[in-house]
Structures are given as structure tokens and as C-alpha cells.
Structure 1
Amino acid sequence: MDMDELKHVINSFSFDRCKKGNQGFNRCLIQLFGLAGHGKSSFINTCVYVWQDGEYKNWAKAAEGYGGKTTERIPHKITSNITLVDNRGWPKLDGYGSGEIFAQLGNLLPLGRGVEFTKGFGLVEKIVRSEKLVKDSDFIAPVFVHSVKHIIPTEEIEELKSVLHTAREMTGIYPIVVLTHKTYGNLTTVESSFRDMGIERIFAFENYTQEDHFKTRGRHEEVLKFLQEVIKDAQFRVEHQTRNPVKEMHDRKQFVMNYVHQREKKMEQEGLERKKALDRAMREKELKRQEEEFERERQRRKEAEEAELRKRREELERQRSAEQARYVEIQAQQQANAKGGKKFLGFFSKKK
């Protein structure tokens, strides 16, 4: 299928053409989600550039460097029945931001509005307030965007796998994975990591940018084939499954609320564990301090006792030395006296 044929298929897509009718769906919402700074906005620029086939513009306000800039849910219309959504990325896989990510993915927060990461049950309140601002007639097509520049660390694989499985559990669809910056890293390694997580549909792109927007047939075709794959899957699901958009929206809402509840319990438990660990560390530190203080006091007493013992020994030694000297002195005196007595007796003997 050449590019003109691909464009025709995409442009003519409508849920009304499905065998069972649209079943209440009016639009395919291609939901881009993932970590901040992995190229979601640049990928949207690429898709719009390819589709319009005109002058390149920074429609999605993509950041020039490596780092996320999007802080709200921004829709970008491709056709009257297809819309790309640039959702706010989260800074790390775990933590409080995960709730907002799934709330965006489930289309529970309004388009064109800012997304703030909240603690506690603030997200639940935002979802309830947004009920009249979101459309249950939108078909959710989840697309996870990841930069090949970022090799997935071993310690993050299970967390990322959990994110992708949670997305599938909430939407009923395994996310398509879009790999950006495909020529700036080890594409084979990253792609293999996602396949090991159970991902089957993976597309790799080098995004068009303000600095590099020279049109190539290869990049154009890759983008069009991606869009075709998304709508082909959406059409298949509406044609071969009995769907109820209102119920699906309600189920996603319950799913995210339960997720937030479990998240809070987990965070509370982790907080208690951290407090216990801190208390235990403080007790161990105090015990160590006491032991060191006891050891210092024991050493001080030992040194004082040894010093006192040395002092006594030295005193005894001085006394012994003094007594010895006194004894020698007495002996000398006695010997002197004895010699004097003999001379005296000799004198009187001579006189007689």
C-alpha cells in the first residue's frame, strides 16, 4: 500500500463504517503516555507534519533538549475521527504521579487543562469534578512512548511491565509501544526488553524536528503505517466485540479510583515501614552511642585504675628505696661506731 492509499484509509476511517455500527463511539483518541522527556510531543509534531505534508511547525511545543515540557492534556486533530493526545509524562515510574497518568490515559481528566500531581485522594475529587467535561464516546487507544536513548535498567523492568499491564487492564488493549530516537541508542536491546514484557506491536521512529525536518519517504511511511495500525485495531475491536462506552468509562473511573485507594494504602504502608526503619535505626544508633559511652567510661576507669596502681607502685618503690637508703645509712653508722669503739678501747689499753 503506497502513501496515498494509506492516507485514504486513515482519512476515511469512521466507527460508523463498522459492521455493528459505531456502538456509541465517535472518535479514536490515540493516548500517548510515558515518562517525561521521551519524545511524546516531538512524535506528535512528526505525525502532524506527515499528515499535513506542509511546512514543519512545533505544534506540540516540544522541548528542544532532553526533558519533558508538557504539563497538560493537549489534543491534536488528525481527522474528524482521529485525535492524538499529548498527555503529561511523569518523572519516574513509581510515586504519586502514576495515578494522574492512568487518569489521563482513561480520559477521566478534561482535554486542554493542566494536570497536577496530587497526594492523598485529591485525584479522586478531580475525577468527580471532571465528569461533565470528558466524553465517554471516545475510543481509547493507548500508546506508550519511550526513548531508545534510555536503556531500561534491570531494577525498572518489573515496574515498567506493571505500568503496561495496568494500562491493558484498564483499557482492555495492550499498548502499542513507540520508540523514539531510534538511531541514538541500542534499538535492538530496548525493543527486546519490551518484547520480553509481552509487547507485540512496536514502532521505531526518528522524529522530525525543527533542525531536521527534511522529508523522507521512509519516515513518512512509518508514521502512516503506525496510524493505520491504530485505527485498524480500534475498528477490529468495535466490529468483533460488544461495547458500551458509558459502562467502559464508568469501569475506568472505578479502576482508577481503586488504583488510587490501593496506592494510598501502599504509600501509607511504605511510610509506616520507613518510620519503623527510621525508629529502628535511631534506636540502634542510640544503643551504639550508649555502648560507645559505656566503653569510653570503662576505658576511662581502667586507665584511672591503672594510673592509680602505677602511682601506688611508684610510692611503694620510693618507700622501699628510702628504707633501703636508711638501712644502708644505719649500717654505715653502726660500722663507723663500731670502729670508733675499738679505737677507744685500744687507747685505754695502752695507758695501762
Structure 2
Amino acid sequence: MSNAELRDRIGSFSFQKCRRGSQGFSRVLLQLFGFLGHGKSSFINTCKYVWEDMGFSNIAQASDDDEGHTMVRITYPLTRTITLVDNRGFCKMGSYETGEIFAQLGNLLPLDTPVEWNEGFGLANRIVEAENLVKVSDFIVPIFLYSAKKGICAEDEDELLELIVTARDLTGVYPIVVLTNKSSEKTTDVTRKFKNLGVERIFALENYTLEDHRKSASKHQEVLRFLYEVIKDVEFQVSQPRNPEEEMTERKTFVLRYIHHNDLKIQFQRKEIKALKEQSLLKEKLKQQKEKYEQIFQEDKRKVEEEIRKLEEEFEAQKLHRQARPSNYIGRPNPANLQSIKIPNQKKRRARLF
């Protein structure tokens, strides 16, 4: 299919033309989500550049660093029925940020408003307060952006699987994965790993940037092919009976349960961390006491050794002193010599006297 034919199919899409009619849907929301600095904003710039076929503009305020700068959940309409949503990126799964991400992905929070990171009841209250500000007529398509140059290590696979499965269970649609930085040598390996995680639709492409936005037929076609496949999937999804209001209620219930479960998980982790810190402090205290007692022992040992040394020196001094006395020195009699002295018999002496 040529680029012109792809454009025609994408631009003419309408829920009214679907087999079952609109069923209450009026707009397709391409919900972009993923980790910080993986190219969501650059992808929006690229899609707008390709579709509008005009001069390149950094409309989504993309940057070259990996920190992520999206602070407002902004919408970028492409056609009358297709809109891109730049959701704020997050650092890792399991943190309170993921509750916010899934609330955005489920379209439970207002569009074009600043993103707040709230835990537990704070986020739940915002979802309840936003009931009248969100449109139930939006059909959600989750688009997971991932930079191929980041690679996927074994430790990240379980986290990615949880993220993708949760997004699928929330929206009812299996996420489409878009790999940015297609020219990276890691692209083939990353693609294989996503397929092993069960992802069926993976699109690898190079984003247009401020530094490199020379039009390329292949880049244009990659983006148009992606949009066309999205429309085909939407048409398939709405060929089944759907109820937008019921789906919104189900998403809300799902996210509130997720927030509650995640909040309990985070509290448990914090308790574990606190216990480990206390255990570590106790170990440190015991170590300090051991070092103190060892120091006292060594000090006492040194004192005893010093006393023994002094006694030995004193003994040696006395020994040397005795050895230095004159040879005719009588001194005190030796008890052993007293036995050799004969004492006269007193009885015989008396007999002679009489």
C-alpha cells in the first residue's frame, strides 16, 4: 500500500463507518506511556511532522537527555478522530508513580492538566473528583514506547511483563510496542525479548529530531504503517459489542484496586526497609560494643603484661645483685648445714659432773 493510500485510510477513519456503528465512541486516544527518556515526546513530533507534511517543529518539547521533561498530560490531535496523548514517564514499576500512570492510561484523569504524583487516597480522591471531567467516548489504545538502545537485561523482563499485562488488563487492548532508535545494534535482541513477553505488534523506527529532520520516505512510511495498523486494530475491537460507560467503570474499579494493592505493597516494603535499618543499627551497635570490649581487654592485657615485665626485671635485678656479693660473705646460715653441727650429749655431761 502506498503512502497516499495509507493516508487516505487513516484520515477517513470514523467510528460511524465501523460494522456496529460508533457504539458510543467518538475518538481514538493513542495513550503513549513508558519510562523516562525513551522518546515519547520525540515520537509525537515525528507523527505530527509526517502526518501534517509541513515544517518540522519541536511541538512536544523533546530533549536530548534521558531525564524526561513531560510535566503536563498534553493531547496532540492528528485527525478528527485520532489524538496522541503524551503521558508523563516513570522511573520504575512498583513505585507509587505507576498508580498515577495507570490512572492516566485508563483515561481516569483530565487531559491537558499538570501531572501530580500522589500516593494512595490522594490519587483515589483525584480519580473520583475527575468523573465529570473525562470523556467516556474515548477509545483507548495503549502505546508503549521503549528505546532500543537501552537494551533489556534479564532483571528487567519481569518488570516489563507486569507493565504490559497490567496495561492490557486495564484497557482490554494488548499494548502496541514502538521501539525508538531503530538503528541501535540492540534492536534485534530487544524485539526478540518483547516477542517472548507475548507482544504481538512491535514497530521499530527512527524519530525525526531538531538535528536530523530531513524527510525520508522510509521514515514516513514506518509512521504511516504504524497509524494504519492502529486503525485496523480499533476496527477489529469495535466489531464486537462494546459499552463505553461500563468500560470506564471497569477501568476505574481496576485502578482503584491496583492503587490499594500497590499502597499496601509499598507500606510493607517500607516496614521491611525500616526493620532492616533497625537490624543494621543493632548490628552496628553490637559491633561497637564488641570493639569497645576488645579495646578494654587489650588494655587490661597490656597492663598485666607490663606488670609481669616489671616483676621479671625486678627478679633479674635481685639475681644479679646476689651474684655480685663477695665470696666470704656468710650471710644467714643455711638450714641444711645446721644438721651437720654436733651438739654434746647433755646426759653424759651430767654424769661426769657427779
Task: Name the counterpart of 2:19.
Answer: 19
The Cα offsets for residues 181-230 of structure 1, whole Å up to 9 and x where unpaired, read as 11134210111121121111000111112222222221111111111111
How does the TM-score come out when normalised to structure 2?
Answer: 0.89
The Cα offsets for residues 106-131 of structure 1, whole Å up to 9 and x where unpaired, read as 01111110102123421111111211
Q: What is the letter of the counterpart of residue 323 of structure 1?
A: R
Shift of 1:52: 1.1
Shift of 1:57: 1.4
Shift of 1:169: 1.0
Structure 1, unaligned runs of 5 or more: 333-352
Shift of 1:272: 0.8
Task: Name the counterpart of 2:322.
Answer: 323
Q: Please tell me the root mean square deviation across aligned C-alpha atoms, in Å.
A: 1.7
Q: What is the letter of the counterpart of residue 294 of structure 2?
A: E
Shift of 1:99: 1.0
CA separation in 1, counterparts of 2:189 and 2:42? 22
Task: Name the counterpart of 2:30.
Answer: 30
> Which portions of structure 1, spanning 4 or more consecutive aligned residues, are displaced by more than 6 angstroms?
none
TM alignment of 1:112-191, pairs within 5 A: 112-191=112-191
Identical amino acids, percent of aligned pairs:
50
TM alignment of 1:1-352, pairs within 5 A: 1-239=1-239, 241-326=240-325, 328=327, 330=329
After superposing the two structures, state which structure 1 stretch, 118-127 or 37-46, moved more. 118-127
After superposing the two structures, state which structure 1 stretch, 270-279 or 147-156, moved more. 147-156
Q: What is the letter of the counterpart of residue 197 of structure 1?
A: L
**Do 1:90 and 1:97's aligned partners in 2 also have CA atoms closer than 8 Å?**
yes
SS across alignment from 2:145: strand
Shift of 1:150: 0.8
CA separation in 1, counterparts of 2:152 and 2:225? 26
SS across alignment from 1:259: helix
**Do 2:36 and 2:66's aligned partners in 1 also have CA atoms closer than 8 Å?**
no
CA separation in 1, counterparts of 2:303 and 2:326? 34
SS across alignment from 2:93: coil
**Do 2:145 and 2:177's aligned partners in 1 also have CA atoms closer than 8 Å?**
yes
In 2 relative to 1, CA 109–329 (structure 1 residues): closer, same or farther, beyond 3 Å? farther
The Cα offsets for residues 289-341 of structure 1, whole Å up to 9 and x where unpaired, read as 21222222122212211211121122222223323334646169xxxxxxxxx
SS across alignment from 2:149: coil
Q: What is the letter of the counterpart of residue 13 of structure 1?
A: F
**Do 2:94 and 2:262's aligned partners in 1 also have CA atoms closer than 8 Å?**
no
Shift of 1:10: 0.9
Shift of 1:242: 2.0
**Do 1:35 and 1:93's aligned partners in 2 also have CA atoms closer than 8 Å?**
no
CA separation in 1, counterparts of 2:170 and 2:286? 50
How does the TM-score come out when normalised to structure 1?
Answer: 0.90
After superposing the two structures, state which structure 1 stretch, 157-166 or 180-189, moved more. 180-189
Question: Higher helix share goes to which structure?
Answer: 1
SS across alignment from 1:134: coil
Aligned length: 331
CA separation in 1, counterparts of 2:66 and 2:6? 32
CA separation in 2, counterparts of 1:222 and 1:49? 13
Shift of 1:252: 0.9
In 2 relative to 1, CA 319–171 (structure 1 residues): closer, same or farther, beyond 3 Å? same
In 2 relative to 1, CA 330–38 (structure 1 residues): closer, same or farther, beyond 3 Å? same
Shift of 1:27: 0.8
Task: Name the counterpart of 1:344.
Answer: none
Task: Name the counterpart of 2:337.
Answer: none
Q: What is the letter of the counterpart of residue 310 of structure 1?
A: R
CA separation in 2, counterparts of 1:132 and 1:124? 15
